[in-house]
Chain A
Amino acid sequence: MNPSRNLVALSATALLSVALAACGSSSSTSSTSGGTTVNGAGSTFAAPVYQQWGSQVSGVTVNYQAVGSGAGITALETKTANFGASDPPLKPADETAIAKNGSPAVEIPMFLGAITASYNVPGVKTGLKLDGMTLADIFLGKVKTWSDPEIKALNPGLTLPSTPITTIHRSDSSGTTAGFTGFLAAVDPEFKTKVGSGKDVNWPGGTGAKGNAGVAGAVAQTSGSIGYVEQAYALQHGFTYASVKNKAGNFVAPSLASATAAAEGVVVPANLGFAISNPSGAQAYPITSQTFIVVNKDLCKAGASAAVAKGVVAFITYGLSGGQSVLSQADYAALPATILAKAKTASTGLVCNGATVSAA
């Protein structure tokens, strides 16, 4: 037989065998050494934490898709994911849509993160103070240079250059944008009407970048720029970020403690869907975001197998216990004790066809 025939025969066999192997071992809960496979989707802000938690929970392989809060909810609604992750709490429309799967929606708060106003101003290394109105004016384009009197008034001790300000915002839909614009809309009625708040807004001017990382990179590269970046990303880049004036009148720098303080005293509704907006705590950092994991209360009625339900609950339980202690390693803030307790109660209320799911 001539050699090319051999080559063909060989490669054909190889292809076919791989293909057959691939088909043969497929099933919707396939697994390797990780036991059950659980699929989650949603918030990019929370992604690093969920990825890490996923690798810590034994017996479960967690696939988390950081597609954004909105997409995570959609994934849960269309049953392409077993749990969704969203920074903003569920809207009533979302709750109805998720409930269509056979069981009402449950949102469980997992942790917090500060949204920093990171800046790159020549000559100003630390200590910049800003308040809500000034930030809104900067992002509205009304304050155009760093030496503007509005900024100067808040920072009498700093020498501010007359560099023009470039604002950096998110080009993709994001919970971080929702958190930042939520704060600005709460403190500045003009911002509320002109730009509004939400995951995706039309910014008047400024440069767009993709993802928290994109904004971080753009701020690092553009002199005179200011952007809103999740604290973890800001710290990764060694950024300088501003202290922001909170409702109590104090200039607070974003830190793990001030983020947790922001959630204390916030009104938590019965379904736990709270949103931190301009908190009133004395040491609270005003631009803090929460993040939730969203599931159906009865996971199995909504389509998950018993094994998958167990896996999801195991993941959530780990997150609310051991997982809270690793948060600081990645510069995220833990929930205050009261809210954490409520979250734990909610997670124990998850059922599979009526029976409580044991996380064991």
Chain B
Amino acid sequence: MTTASVPAGDRSVLERSPAARLPDRALRYGLTGLAALILALIAFFFVRLVGESQPALSRFGVFGFALHNDWNVSLDHFGALPLLVGTLVTSFLALIIGVPVAVATALFITELCPRRIRTPVTILIELLAAVPSVVYGLWGIFFLAPKLLPAEKWVAAKLSFLPYVGGGTVTVPNQFVTGLVLAIMILPIVSAISREVMATVPADQKEAALSLGATRWEMIRIAVLPYCRSGIVGGAMLGLGRAIGETIAVTILIGDSPVLGHQLFGQGYTLAAVIANEFGEASGLHRSALFAAGLVLFVLTLVVNGIARYFVLRAARGTRVAPDKAGPDADAGAAAAVGA
């Protein structure tokens, strides 16, 4: 069929007048401006943060500040090592406890549970994310921490030969409880991402394993888990990022003691908690040190989230299948999981 082209003279009938093109132009430039606004905002944000941290960082040096073990407000010594260690300890604790459980829930929902209870269980897990941080802190400090105290004391006594876990004073707000509550808080996001990735495992892979005589668990082990590794790692890193930045629940539960070397069941401090606690009080060098702590926190979450997105995108790219299941869907799915 020959394509008929519109005669030149008639083409002008279809063209839009310059005035009619104006709203389009306005919309385009307006929205582009908005997008540029986001960039400007973050750049400004970063610059201000660095500016405010300058006094402390120039006094102690960047590495001196981050790695020196001495947070002493009255003497104006600010080394953030105890805070950094506390942040990493509680976050990794949250990972160790939370990720296996989250992956298990994802496996349960996608592979093992009867279709009827799939949605209710999913909704229940999502509900964990709906609870605000301050309510977790409230529940943790008044219910969970006191309830766990006898068990913690028993463990500390029984394992007193272990250097970090045993011995030492067991306090009600402590690093372990903080890590536990953080694990509960990151559970929904790690579970959601794991579920997303598990749902994209090609059915033929699973069926092939089953048809070769694998049991359900073997099928999971052979076909599902290796396929989802990237995605699960990405989800775990996102959870880590969330745990690192968590402020309010941690402030309430960790006991706020900037001394390095406490036991697992003793008090600690994190970067976010120190800002929440001391900022209202701070002035001069102290305040600048807190901004520097905020900067360290910001950079840390940036790095962790960057790694997370790398893994999740890698998983998403791996799931791009036949052309009819076009790229944007898979990306959208992964992006939805990532943006959730």
A–B touch (CB < 8 A): the answer is: yes
Tell me the dominant secondary structure on chain A's binding face: loop
User: Which chain B positions have C-beta within 8 A of A173?
Assistant: 73, 278, 281-282
Question: Once the chains are docked, how many angstroms separate the CA of A173 from the CA of B284?
Answer: 15
Name the one of B72, B73, B256, B283 contacting A210, with C-beta atoms under 8 angstroms.
B256
Question: Once the chains are docked, how many angstroms separate the CA of A73 from the CA of B257?
Answer: 25
Question: Once the chains are docked, how many angstroms separate the CA of A70 from the CA of B281?
Answer: 5
The reply to whether the CB of B280 lies closer than 8 angstroms to some CB of chain A is yes
User: Which chain A positions have C-beta within 8 A of B169?
Assistant: 166, 207
Query: Do A202 and B75 form a contact, CB below 8 Å, given A166-B169, A208-B256, A208-B257?
Result: yes
Chain A residue at smallest Cβ distance from B70: A202
User: Which chain A positions have C-beta within 8 A of B160?
Assistant: none
Question: Once the chains are docked, how many angstroms separate the CA of A218 from the CA of B174?
Answer: 12
The reply to whether the CB of A71 lies closer than 8 angstroms to some CB of chain B is yes
Query: Judging by beta carbons under 8 Å apart, are B282 and A70 in contact?
Result: yes
Binds B, one of A48-56, A124-132, A193-201: A193-201
Question: Once the chains are docked, how many angstroms separate the CA of A67 from the CA of B280?
Answer: 6
Name the one of B75, B256, B280 contacting A171, with C-beta atoms under 8 angstroms.
B256
Give 1 or 0 for each of B14-54: 1 = CB within 8 Å of chain A CB. 00000000000000000000000000000000000000000
Query: Judging by beta carbons under 8 Å apart, are B255 and A208 in contact?
Result: yes
The reply to whether the CB of B205 lies closer than 8 angstroms to some CB of chain A is no
Query: Do A207 and B267 form a contact, CB below 8 Å, given A67-B280, A172-B278, A172-B281?
Result: yes
Question: Once the chains are docked, how many angstroms separate the CA of A220 from the CA of B171?
Answer: 12
Tell me the dominant secondary structure on chain B's binding face: loop
Give 1 or 0 for each of A303-342: 1 = CB within 8 Å of chain B CB. 0000000000000000000000000000000000000000
Query: Judging by beta carbons under 8 Å apart, are A199 and B74 in contact?
Result: yes
Question: Once the chains are docked, how many angstroms separate the CA of A73 from the CA of B284?
Answer: 12
Question: Once the chains are docked, how many angstroms separate the CA of A84 from the CA of B255?
Answer: 28
**How close is A163's CB to chain B, nearest CB, in angstroms?**
13
Question: Once the chains are docked, how many angstroms separate the CA of A199 from the CA of B74?
Answer: 7
Query: Judging by beta carbons under 8 Å apart, are B74 and A198 in contact?
Result: yes
Query: Judging by beta carbons under 8 Å apart, are B277 and A171 in contact?
Result: yes
Question: Once the chains are docked, how many angstroms separate the CA of A199 from the CA of B278?
Answer: 12
Query: Do A171 and B281 form a contact, CB below 8 Å, given A201-B74, A207-B171, A218-B172?
Result: no
User: Which chain A positions have C-beta within 8 A of B74?
Assistant: 196, 198-202
Query: Judging by beta carbons under 8 Å apart, are A172 and B277 in contact?
Result: yes
Chain A residue at smallest Cβ distance from B277: A172
User: Which chain A positions have C-beta within 8 A of B73?
Assistant: 173, 200
* B217-264, CB < 8 A from A: 255-257
Residue count of chain B within 8 Å CB distance of chain A: 18
Query: Judging by beta carbons under 8 Å apart, are A68 and B280 in contact?
Result: yes
Question: Once the chains are docked, how many angstroms separate the CA of A171 from the CA of B254?
Answer: 11
The reply to whether the CB of A74 lies closer than 8 angstroms to some CB of chain B is yes
Query: Judging by beta carbons under 8 Å apart, are A208 and B277 in contact?
Result: no
User: Which chain A positions have C-beta within 8 A of B267?
Assistant: 171, 207-208
User: Which chain A positions have C-beta within 8 A of B146?
Assistant: 221
Query: Judging by beta carbons under 8 Å apart, are B256 and A207 in contact?
Result: no
Chain B residue at smallest Cβ distance from A209: B255
**How close is B282's CB to chain A, nearest CB, in angstroms?**
7
* B172-211, CB < 8 A from A: 172
Chain A residue at smallest Cβ distance from B173: A209
**How close is B142's CB to chain A, nearest CB, in angstroms?**
10
**How close is B265's CB to chain A, nearest CB, in angstroms?**
12
Query: Judging by beta carbons under 8 Å apart, are A71 and B282 in contact?
Result: yes
Question: Once the chains are docked, how many angstroms separate the CA of A70 from the CA of B72?
Answer: 16
Name the one of A74, A196, A209, A218 contacting B283, with C-beta atoms under 8 angstroms.
A74
**How close is A360's CB to chain B, nearest CB, in angstroms?**
34
Question: Once the chains are docked, how many angstroms separate the CA of A133 from the CA of B226?
Answer: 66
Query: Judging by beta carbons under 8 Å apart, are A221 and B172 in contact?
Result: yes
Query: Do A202 and B278 form a contact, CB below 8 Å, given A208-B257, A218-B172?
Result: no
User: Which chain A positions have C-beta within 8 A of B277?
Assistant: 171-172, 210
* A22-51, CB < 8 A from B: none
User: Which chain B positions have C-beta within 8 A of A67?
Assistant: 280-281
User: Which chain A positions have C-beta within 8 A of B75?
Assistant: 196, 202
* A172-228, CB < 8 A from B: 172-173, 196, 198-202, 207-210, 218, 221-222
User: Which chain B positions have C-beta within 8 A of A202?
Assistant: 72, 74-75
Chain B residue at smallest Cβ distance from A93: B284
Q: 6 tightest A-B contacts by CB?
A: A67-B280, A171-B256, A200-B73, A173-B281, A71-B280, A68-B281
A-B contact pairs, 19 of them (CB 8 A): A65-B280, A70-B283, A71-B283, A73-B283, A74-B282, A74-B283, A166-B169, A171-B255, A171-B257, A171-B277, A173-B73, A173-B282, A201-B74, A202-B74, A207-B257, A208-B256, A209-B255, A218-B171, A218-B172
14 more CB-based (< 8 A) A-B contacts, given A73-B283, A208-B255? A68-B280, A70-B282, A70-B283, A71-B280, A71-B283, A74-B282, A74-B283, A166-B169, A171-B256, A171-B257, A173-B282, A208-B256, A208-B267, A218-B172
